[in-house]
Structure formats: C-alpha cells, structure tokens
C-alpha cells in the first residue's frame, strides 16, 4: 500500500503555503526598508498597492501570452487558458491533450485528470466527450476546453479509410497444409468472403472498400470536412459494436455489407458466366457487373434490380411494353438500396468497392483454363465483332461530320452574297472549297494537284459567270 501524501504536500495546501511565504518575505523586506534604511514609505499602503499591481499585471500578461500558447482568437478563449493555467499551478487541472489523425498524444495518465482541461485536434480529427453518466458533445478540429469531469469517450479519423477483407495476397487457402502455423488464420480470412455460384462452386474474393464519415469538403471550416451530426452517429454506432475507445474508432459494418452483397449477386450466376465476353446488348462481363452493383448498393440510393439468373429487369409501361431511353435502349428497373440508407443513418459515405482478386480451388482453376482454351475462338470472334462495330460506328460519325463541315465551308460565301446566276453560284461553291482546303494543313499535305485544279475551275467559272452577266446586261 502506498504511503499517504502529507497534508502540506497536497496541491492546494502547498500553493497556499507558498503564497503565504512570499507575502511574509515581502513584508520583511518592507520592514527592513522602513526601520533600517529610513525610507518614508508607508508599509501597509505600499504593500497593498504592490500586491494589487502585481496581481493585475500577472493576469494581463497571462492573457496576452495565452494567444501564443494555443491558436485562440477570442477574449473568452484566452480567459479559459488563464483559468486552466491557474488550476495547473494549483494541481487541480484537467487533461491537456493533442489529437492527431484520431490518435491521442498525452503524458502518462493525462486523460485521467478530471479538472478543467483543453483538447487540441488537428484538421483530420474529431472526438466525442462524456461524463461518467452521459455523452455530452462532439468536437471537431481546433481548440476545445473541457469542463470538470468531462473526458474523451472516443476519437475518429476524418480521412477516407480503406479496408481490405478476405485473404491476403500471399494466402493459399485451398492448398495450405493443416500443419502450417498460420492455417487457422488463413482459413478464417477465407471464410470472411467465401461465396457460392449458382452451380455450387466456391469463390473466395479479396475485397477493398473505401469510406469515411460523410461531410462535404470544407464543411465545418476544415480541410477534410467535419459534420457534427454524422460524426456523432458514427462514433455512437462504433461504441455500440464494442469498438476499442483507446484507438480511433471505425465501423466494420460497411465491409460486412459489401461481403453480403457480393454473396447475394454471385449466387445468381454460374462460374462459366463470370468471364464470358459480353454480347451486343452488354458492355461488361458478369464479374464486372457484380463489382459495379456491389459499389452501387453501398454508394447510391437506388440500384438496378436483377432476377434470379442475373438478368436486369426491364421497365415496362402500362401496356406491358419495354420502356426505352433516348438512345433506344431498354431502361432497367431500380429499387431503393437498403445498404445505402443504413450507411447514411450511420453517418458514413462509401467511395469505392473493388473486387481485387478471386481465388479458386486448383481443380476449378484447371477447369477454367480448359474452358477458356476451348472457347477462345468464340470469344475472339465476339471481340472482333465488337471492334468491327466500333470501327463502323466511328466511320459513320466521321463521314457525317465531314459532310457537315464540307457543306458549311462550301456554302460560306453563298450565305453572305447572293449569286448573280448559276455559274456564279457554282464559282462561289468551288472557291469556298478551295479556300477551306488551303486553310487545312492536313488536307494540303495529302493533296497534290487538287488545289491547282480547283483554282483553274474557279477561274473558268468566274469568267463564265461574268460573261453571262454581261450578256444578260
């Protein structure tokens, strides 16, 4: 059992005894000055005046230097610093803590102090404060002063957080020996993201998800954005999930949602369908579609609906006919995303969900290789058809643009000057075409005698137009 601290060594009695000592010392010096140095100063009046001036001066200087201790601006904040400095001298102070990226930096046992304290949070940190009986408030980046018996319940990092779930890149969950020292851990990571296809094949995924507490950039006057209500929701949810309050808290629920949605979509497809080259009506493979839909379920309020076989459900009108968009493609039916709504209620926003890698058993990998070898010609033909369609579409667009440009250039002079006769109109068309060719360096380099021929034709037409005009006159 530790020895009890003597009464005179406790903070308040010690501060009182030190003050009495200095007052007595000051009185002794005044007594010596009056009785032995024969000064005419009144001892009592001089003592009171000096003590008042010393006290007021010390207070004013503390208020002045307070602005250099912490980044404060108002008089009230400076007064709070002085108040806490006074309690620090008396040994009654609360915690003085700096929080960086959600991590608390403090002296040993500083958080256990229960007096008036101060907390300084950097631009990427926030925290929730509490007493022994209730949560009190959420604080964001900047300097904050804590009340008596108020302390930190939990902190958060306002940066976007990236979480990887499932096996590590080096894991081999299907081939690792049961005698291996990491066997249990590898299998635990395997079952985190293990899913089954419609034909009963196990697929293990490495999934990466990036999310943060929802806030607009610059909100709350901070670089990363600070939304008090969303921060309160995120911290409260994390604490109810038994998060460790001694480190920056965050929720595992976004990652668990991504895993559940991944499993939900994978079971709608056969293994062979995941890697098939898409047909004319589709732009992505089924695996790319799954990855897109998983992200949309967590990041968008509405998402496309799929049937039990992974086909998007088409919108229909009152007569049962498919609804088409502006480009003539069918519109797909959408439904509200439960995951997005839940994350919004928790105060989180998801930026991306990536299926980084798929892991199969050796037998399945061998089957995929054989299947790909037998289907490579069909896939190559599909890819060739896609490239051919894209090339023809590009040619059509290019031809259409060229015709429009030619028509605009050829009619530029006619649109400004009324031709006198047919020959004059033809002359204007030829001359406008020739000038547009000369202005276009690419066309000029590709042509040899065409500009000269056009000039000769233009000259002939001009002479003919003038002759016709004279004869008409």
CB neighbour list of residue 291: distance below 8 Å, 6 or more residues apart: 353, 354, 355
Is residue 430's pLDDT more than 80? no
Angstrom CA distances, 251 to 32, 115, 134, 208, 211, stand at 71, 31, 21, 15, 10
What average pLDDT does the segment 53-77 reach? 64
pLDDT of residue 323: 82
Banded model confidence at residue 220, pLDDT cuts 50, 70, 90: confident
CB neighbour list of residue 66: distance below 8 Å, 6 or more residues apart: 72, 77, 78, 81, 82, 85
Banded model confidence at residue 246, pLDDT cuts 50, 70, 90: confident
Lowest mean pLDDT among 44-58, 147-161, 233-247, 281-295: 44-58
pLDDT of residue 275: 82
Is residue 410's pLDDT more than 70? no
Query: Using one digit for the tens of pLDDT, what is the confidence trace for 30-40?
Result: 666 666 655 55
Angstrom CA distances, 441 to 93, 428, 433, 436, 457, stand at 80, 22, 14, 10, 22
What average pLDDT does the segment 15-33 reach? 70
Is residue 53's pLDDT more than 70? no
Banded model confidence at residue 2, pLDDT cuts 50, 70, 90: very low
pTM of the model: 0.65
Structural domains present in the chain: 1-91 (no CATH), 94-157 (no CATH), 161-301+337-360 (3.30.479.30), 411-472 (no CATH)
């Amino acid at each position: 059992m530790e020895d009890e601290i003597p009464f005179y060594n406790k903070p308040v009695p010690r501060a009182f005894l030190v003050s009495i000592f200095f007052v007595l010392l000051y009185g002794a010096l005044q007594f010596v000055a009056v009785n032995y140095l024969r000064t005419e100063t009144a001892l009592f009046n001089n003592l009171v005046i000096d003590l008042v001036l010393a006290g007021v001066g010390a207070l004013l200087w503390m208020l002045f230097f307070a602005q250099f201790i912490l980044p404060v601006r108002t008089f009230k904040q400076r007064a709070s610093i002085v108040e806490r400095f006074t309690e620090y001298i008396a040994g009654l102070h609360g915690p003085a803590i700096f929080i960086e990226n959600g991590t608390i930096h403090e002296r040993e046992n500083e958080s256990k102090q229960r007096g008036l304290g101060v907390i300084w949070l950097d631009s990427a940190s926030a925290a929730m404060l509490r007493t022994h009986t209730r949560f009190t408030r959420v604080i964001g980046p900047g300097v904050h002063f804590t009340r008596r018996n108020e302390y930190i319940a939990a902190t958060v990092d306002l940066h976007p957080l990236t979480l990887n779930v499932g096996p590590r890149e080096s894991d081999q969950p299907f081939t690792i020996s049961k005698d291996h020292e990491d066997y249990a851990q590898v299998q635990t990571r395997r079952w985190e993201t293990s899913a089954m296809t419609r034909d009963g094949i196990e697929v293990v995924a490495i999934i990466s998800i990036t999310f943060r507490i929802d806030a607009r950039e610059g909100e709350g006057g901070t670089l990363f954005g600070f939304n008090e209500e969303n921060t309160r929701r995120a911290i409260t949810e994390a604490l109810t999930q038994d998060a460790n309050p001694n480190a920056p808290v965050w929720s595992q629920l976004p990652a668990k949602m991504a895993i559940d949605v991944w499993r939900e979509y994978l079971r709608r497809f056969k293994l062979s369908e995941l890697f098939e080259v898409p047909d004319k009506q589709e732009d992505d493979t089924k695996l790319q579609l799954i990855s897109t839909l998983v992200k949309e379920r967590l990041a968008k309020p509405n998402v496309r609906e799929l049937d039990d076989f992974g086909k998007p459900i088409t919108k229909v009108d009152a007569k049962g006919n498919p609804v088409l968009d502006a480009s003539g493609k069918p519109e797909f039916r959408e439904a509200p995303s439960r995951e997005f709504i839940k994350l919004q209620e928790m105060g989180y926003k998801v930026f991306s969900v990536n299926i980084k890698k798929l892991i199969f058993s050796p037998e399945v990998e061998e089957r995929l290789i054989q299947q790909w070898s037998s289907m490579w010609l069909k896939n190559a033909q599909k890819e060739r058809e896609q490239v051919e369609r894209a090339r023809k579409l590009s040619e059509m667009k290019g031809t259409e643009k060229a015709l429009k440009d030619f028509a605009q250039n050829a009619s530029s002079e006619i649109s400004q000057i009324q031709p006198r006769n047919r020959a004059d109109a033809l002359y204007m068309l030829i001359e406008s075409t020739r000038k547009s060719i000369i202005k276009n360096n690419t066309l000029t380099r590709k042509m040899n005698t065409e500009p000269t021929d056009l000039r000769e034709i233009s000259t002939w037409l001009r002479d003919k137009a003038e002759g016709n005009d004279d004869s008409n006159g």
